[in-house]
Structures are given as structure tokens and as C-alpha cells.
Amino acid sequence: GGEGAGVSSSAGAGGEGVGVSSSAGAGGEGAGVSSSAGAGGEGVGVSSSAGAGVEGAGVSSFVGAGGEGAGVSSSAGAGGEGSGVSSFAGAGGEGVGVSSSAGVGGEGAGVSRFAGAGGEGASVSSSAGAGGEGAGQR
């Protein structure tokens, strides 16, 4: 339950951090952190986050069960995404302004899509999956 402002790293169960370099742990939150990982982790402007799998160089990603992200460039629940790919994935994951989303596998560069069970998205280009809702979709 440790908090830190402007610290280099923050880790632990229920650890929060603002402007920290990295944050990890169950239920860890971070705003403007370089990387965030863990079950139920939230992040705004998070550069990189992974619970499983590997992301390529220059890829900004966010991942986690029930993870939310605003302005997140890339996210994967399983597998890897290529450089420059914007994607979002996860069980019950929501995303605003997310370019691409997938439950499993990888997407190619420039692909805009959103998928997942019960996943919602605003201003996503496309939406697919069971019970998927989207506003401003194509």
C-alpha cells in the first residue's frame, strides 16, 4: 500500500504512483507512469504495460484483466503487437480513443478495430464481439 509522487519506482499490492517511472502489483494505479502491470491495473498516459506476452520496440501498450486506459496506444491480453500498432485488449476492458483492440493474437500496423466480450469503446473505428458496444464507430 505504498504511494509515491515523482519516485523512480513503485511496487506492491494496491500501490499508487503519480509520475513514477514504473508501477507494478495487484491493483496498482499510475498516472503518467512509464509502465504499469498487474491485475486490475489502471493507467492514464501509460507508456507500456504487460501482464503476458511481449510488445515490440516503440510500442505503447496496456494490458490486464479488467484494465482501463485513456489515450493508451496499445494493449494486448495475449500475444504481441508490431511496432506502431495501436491496440487494446482484455476481458471487460474499456477504452476511449483506442485505435485497435483484440482479445487474442496480433494486429497489423494501421489497423483500427475493437473486440472483446462485453467491451465498450468510444470513437473506436470498428467493434466486434459478444455484447460489444461502441459510439462513433465506422
For range 44-60, the mean pLDDT: 39
- Decide: residue 101, CB within 10 A, 0-12 exposed, 13-18 middle, 19+ buried: buried
pLDDT (0 to 100) of residue 41: 43
Domain that holds residue 18: 1-46
More confident: 55 or 3 = 3
Residues 127 and 92 in one domain: yes
Number of domains in the chain: 2
User: pTM for the whole thing?
Assistant: 0.14
Same domain, 68 and 136: yes
CB 107 within 8 A of CB 87: yes
Is 88 buried (19+), middle (13-18) or exposed (0-12) by CB count in 10 A? buried
Q: In terms of domains, do 132 and 119 share one?
A: yes
Phi, psi (deg, nearest 5) at residue 37: -145, 150
Q: How many angstroms separate the CA atoms of 131 and 34, rounded?
A: 32
Give tens-digit pLDDT for 63-98: 443 444 444 444 444 444 443 334 444 434 444 444
pLDDT at 109: 34
**Residue 8 and residue 74 share a domain:** no
Is there a single domain that holds both residue 12 and residue 65?
no
Q: Which of 64, 63, 107 is nearest to 85 (CA)?
A: 107
Q: Are residues 62 and 125 in the same domain?
A: yes
